[in-house]
Amino acid sequence: MSGHAEPETGPILASDGTPLKKRLARSLRMQKLRALALIAPLLIFVLVTFIAPIADMLFRSVENEIVSNTLPDTVAAVSDWDPKAQELPSEPVYQALYFDLFLAAEAKEHTKLGTRLNYEQVGISSLFRTSGRKLDDIGKVYEKWLIGLNPAWKSGEFWNELMRGAASAAPDTDLLAEQRARLTALTDDPMQQDIGFVPGSEIARILPLTAREYTANALFIAIDKNRDISKRGPWEAVYTALAVDLGDPEVQRAISGYQGPGSDELRAAAAAIDTAPPRDFTAAMIKVDKDWAKPENIQAIKIYSGKYTAGYYLNAIDMQKTLDGVSERPENQQIYMMLFGRTLFMSLLITFSCILLGYPVAWILANLPLRTSNLLMILVLLPFWTSLLVRTSAWKVMLQQQGVINDTLVWLGLLDDASRLIMINNQFGTIVAMTHILLPFMILPLYSVMQTIPPSYLRAAKSLGATNWTAFWRVYFPQSIPGIGAGSILVFILAIGYYITPEIVGGTTGTFISNRIAFHISSSLNWGLGAALGTILLAAVLALYWTYDKIVGIDNVKLGG
């Protein structure tokens, strides 16, 4: 209220003395709140059970954390490699790759990444699988070398003391937390339990790589395998890390002044570093699998290293990411545009046959006396109300080679027993069955529009000299177009998302994009691609629905009552 009101013409007051305007506004607000409170439970329910899943699907279609989660250091190391130079990446890339892959293989996560990258670079999945199997061999030589120098290197107890450092040394909790995060990202497990081990900060500074790998080892063994790290020697990657560390002159200098547990053994090993096997990870990885010598495999890691990717969408339209940007996939891998095209074409064909069959029926229903048309309406509503699977199985019964239609034709002698028609497991089967299933969705809106067209218009046109055809085409048909539009969009929206019927009667040539989505989700497990295909389909349907809303309005959705 503005407060400018003059006292003598003051605002009208409600019974309790407040201005009426205020009271009205408050009561309106109360009504709004009450309405919202009534709607809220359902709205939250739908948001959680339905909208969140759709949002999750959108997220999955771009999400690509697996590469940077599984190979974090490789992704960092490969970032300044120029793949266009047609050279292999430098040694640090292969070294990072070895340590990343070793941990991933221990956690059995490397095959997942292999499968993921295989969508983009065919053959990479088997490369990851063989590497995971043979990776232990690389570290075995360093393990043998160290144990050969001093059997103490075999002892889990010795290692544990070495890495804890002197009792007085400060523990390096940062390193522990960092490795926890690395394992969490890799395994999707929170990894929060206390493991009774913290690396010493001094030794962690002197032997950075070794401390890192040992901590990861300790965490994984304690949490995933539920075993104490000090009971057994560490895994091969730790020996390898130590060999790498000892080869560094910096490290050798630092060791010479170190006083903590195991410092003598460390100094002895550093002194004997020349007898150690060479630390050449490029050669070692190529020995594990010669495919690591192919730059395109490292390229795939580099290209798909981002946390989010448009790769699934590109894949969904038969494109792929390459070094020079986006390009078409090889001819033999292009199927999605063809499938989208087929889905579109067949949905249009189904919509068209629904118009063709639905129009006469709607016309006769709208023009017959009410009693007769109500009776005939049952013939439309019964299929509408019958289970989709019943209708689909009915069409399977009808269309099979040993089915009712073929049998009837053979019995009538119109067809030779040997030359029965193939009407199922192809496009024909899908079109016939889906036309039948969707026909009521065309007839009902057409019927409700045609009911509103006065028959006198047609008679008027004829009495003015129009022929039957002109009267229909120029007078009746234009008025029935809203019905055709509504029915067509409804049928088309339903048709492009159909799954069950094409799956059962479509065979291989009559399937839709939705069958491919289902395939990716339940069989090939390429969820990202499934989600991307689904999102494209969803966008198409929403665009169509928006059109539908512009033409007929949401509120006019009829349920055939």
**Scanning residues 351 to 390, which ones bind another protein (CB under 8 A)?**
357, 360-361, 364, 369, 376, 378-383, 385-390
| Site for another protein, residues 396 to 425, rule: CB under 8 A | 396-398, 400, 402-404, 407, 411-414
* Of the candidates 285, 293, 364, 227, the residue with the CA atom closest to the CA atom of residue 88: 293
> Residue 102 in contact with residue 135, Cβ under 8 Å?
yes
Task: Considering the complex, state which of residue 136 and residue 407 has its C-beta at the smaller distance from another protein.
Answer: 407
Q: How far is the CB of 200 from another protein (least distance, A)?
A: 39
Cβ atoms of 146 and 265 within 8 Å: the answer is no
Phi/psi of residue 320, each to 5°? -150, 160
Shortest distance, position 267 Cβ to another protein, whole Å? 52
Query: What token pair was written down for 359?
Result: 């129009």
Phi, psi (deg, nearest 5) at residue 13 = -105, 145
Site for another protein in 55-74 (CB under 8 A): 55-57, 60
Q: Please choose, out of 54-62, 177-185, 295-303, 321-329, the segment that lies near another protein by the rule CB under 8 A.
A: 54-62
Kindly state the helix (H) or strand (E) to which residue 360 belongs, with its residue range: helix 336-367
Rounded to 5°, the CA angle 483-486-487 comes to 80
Mask of contacts with another protein, 224-263, x by CB under 8 A? Answer: ----------------------------------------
The answer to whether 221 and 193 are in contact (CB under 8 A) is no
**Shortest Cβ 220–another protein spacing (Å):** 24
CA atoms within 13 Å, Cβ hemisphere of 410: 13
> Using CB under 8 A, which of 1, 13, 20, 52 touches another protein?
52
> What is the Cα Rg of the chain in Å?
36
**Residue 321: strand, helix, or coil:** strand
Q: Which of residues 519-548 bind another protein (CB under 8 A)?
A: 521-522, 527, 530-531, 534, 537-538, 541-542, 545
Which token pair is 351?
């919509």
The separation between the first and the last C-alpha atoms of the chain, rounded to the nearest angstrom, is 50
| Total of chain residues touching another protein, rule CB under 8 A | 91
Using a 10 angstrom Cβ sphere, with 0-12 exposed, 13-18 middle and 19 or more buried, the burial of residue 551 is middle
Nearest Cα residue to 137 out of 84, 101, 184: 101
- Least CB distance to another protein at residue 349 (A): 16
Least distance from another protein to the Cβ atom of residue 465, Å: 13
Q: Which is nearer to another protein, 114 or 530 (CB)?
A: 530
Report the alpha-carbon distance of residue 40 to residue 157 in Å, rounded.
Answer: 61
Nearer to another protein, 324 or 417 (CB): 417
Amino acid identity at 9: T
Is residue 485 close enough to count as binding another protein by CB under 8 A? no
Instruction: Write down the least CB distance from residue 362 to another protein, Å.
Output: 10
Tell me the residue type at 294: K
- Name which of residues 453 to 482 contact another protein (CB under 8 A): 468
Cα separation of 91 and 346, whole Å?
Answer: 54
Q: Which of residues 10-39 bind another protein (CB under 8 A)?
A: 28, 31-32, 34-39
Q: Least separation, in Å, of the C-beta of 54 and another protein?
A: 5
Q: Is 499 in the site for another protein (CB under 8 A)?
A: yes
> Judged by CB under 8 A, which of 69, 217, 297, 392 binds another protein?
392
Q: Which is nearer to another protein, 45 or 457 (CB)?
A: 45
Contact region for another protein (CB under 8 A) — 79-87, 104-112, 418-426, 488-496? 488-496
By CB under 8 A, what part of segment 501-520 binds another protein? 503-504, 514, 517-518
Identity of the residue, 50 or 457, whose beta carbon is nearer to another protein in the bound complex: 50
Q: What amino acid occupies position 467?
A: T
Query: CB of 523: closest distance to another protein in angstroms?
Result: 12
Q: Which of residues 145-174 bind another protein (CB under 8 A)?
A: none
Number of DSSP helices (H) and strands (E) in the chain, helices first: 28, 2
49 touching another protein, by CB under 8 A:
yes
SS3 326: strand
Closest approach, Cβ 414 to another protein, in A, equals 6
Q: How far is CA 35 from the centre of its chain?
A: 37
